[in-house]
């Protein structure tokens, strides 16, 4: 990818989604 900034943004986006998912899962239990 010629735009590392885009890749970094997508990575942070995915990490934030995973973190939110884990948080919701913990609250569910």
DSSP string, the chain: ---HHHHHHHHHHHHHHHHHHHHHHHHH-
C-alpha to C-alpha distance for 24 and 18, rounded to whole angstroms: 10
Tokens 């890749």, residue? 7
CA 24, 13, 28 angle in degrees (round to 5)?
Answer: 5
Supply the pLDDT for residue 28: 75
Using CA atoms, how far residue 10 sits from 7, 17, 25, in Å, is 5, 11, 22
What is the pTM (predicted TM-score) of this model? 0.59
pLDDT in tens, the chain (29 residues): 578 999 999 999 999 999 999 988 888 76
Supply the pLDDT for residue 27: 81
């Amino acid at each position: 990818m010629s735009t590392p900034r885009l890749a970094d943004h997508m990575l942070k986006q995915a990490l934030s989604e995973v973190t939110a998912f884990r948080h919701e899962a913990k609250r569910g239990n």
